[in-house]
């Protein structure tokens, strides 16, 4: 017989977020980029954010991170490193939400991106030109840089990124000669 326990204290929702760094080889020097998704639904609809979402009852936070990355970007990765846990009160307007954050670094050969699930767009952004990010994702990016011990970009370049308001951030991706839509490819 399975025993059920009931606790009187409140429980948070649990999410998993992914910080995916990409090192590109530019004509003069390497550049570090971060993969972001444009949120398709409230809160922060239209704002840029890290890929992520709620942990399902039958999965671990690490499994949720892999699933959300695949659903929202079309990329499948199994080698993610947990870089922190974020649970400050008010970090999510939907209520008490604690997020386990995971990170990885990939090379320029990553496959094509495909926005899906609740992401309306997905794109690589230069670490020094990130838009305002939803929730506390700017803090998560900074922590991921510290946790991975990367020397690919100074942490100070991401330090000016603040949490987004509920309005969409301006699109400040650097344009490549290969396209006029502003995507870094």
Backbone angles phi, psi at 62, to 5 degrees: -65, -40
Number of structural domains the chain divides into: 1
**CA of residue 114 relative to chain centroid, distance:** 15
CATH code: domain of residue 124: 3.90.79.10
Among the residue ranges 92-96, 158-162, 169-173, the one predicted with the least confidence is 158-162
Q: Is 181 part of any domain?
A: no
Q: Is 7 part of any domain?
A: no
Task: Specify the DSSP element, H or E, that contains 174.
Answer: none
Q: Is 167 part of any domain?
A: no
State the Cα–Cα distance between residues 38 and 47, nearest whole angstrom: 5
Q: What is the pTM of this model?
A: 0.80
Q: Is 172 part of any domain?
A: no
Confidence of residue 183 (pLDDT cuts 50, 70, 90): very low
Q: Is 75 part of any domain?
A: yes
Q: What is the 3-state secondary structure (H, E, C) of 76-122?
A: CCCCCEEEEEECCCCCCCCCCEEEEEEEEEECCCCCCCCCCCCEEEE
pLDDT at 28 over 60: yes
Q: Is 168 part of any domain?
A: no
Q: Is 58 part of any domain?
A: yes
pLDDT at 152 over 80: no
Domain that holds residue 54: 13-159
Q: Is 94 part of any domain?
A: yes
Tens digits of residue pLDDT in 89-138? 999 999 999 999 999 999 888 888 999 999 999 999 999 999 999 999 99
């Amino acid at each position: 017989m399975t025993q059920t326990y009931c606790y009187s204290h409140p429980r948070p929702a649990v999410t998993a977020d992914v910080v995916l760094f990409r090192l590109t080889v530019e004509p003069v020097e390497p550049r570090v980029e971060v993969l972001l998704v444009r949120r398709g639904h409230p809160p922060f609809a239209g704002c840029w954010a890290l890929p992520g979402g709620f942990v399902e009852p039958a999965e671990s936070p690490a499994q949720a991170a892999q699933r959300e990355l695949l659903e929202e970007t079309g990329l499948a990765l199994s080698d993610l490193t947990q870089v922190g846990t974020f649970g400050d009160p008010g970090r999510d307007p939907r209520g008490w939400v604690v997020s386990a954050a995971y990170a990885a670094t990939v090379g320029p050969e990553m496959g094509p991106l495909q926005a899906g699930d609740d992401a309306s767009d997905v794109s690589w952004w230069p670490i020094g030109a990130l838009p305002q990010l939803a929730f506390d994702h700017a803090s998560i990016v900074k922590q991921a840089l510290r946790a991975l011990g990367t020397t690919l970009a100074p942490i100070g370049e991401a330090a000016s990124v603040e949490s987004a308001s509920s309005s969409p951030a301006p699109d400040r991706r650097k344009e490549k000669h290969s396209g006029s839509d502003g995507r870094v490819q």
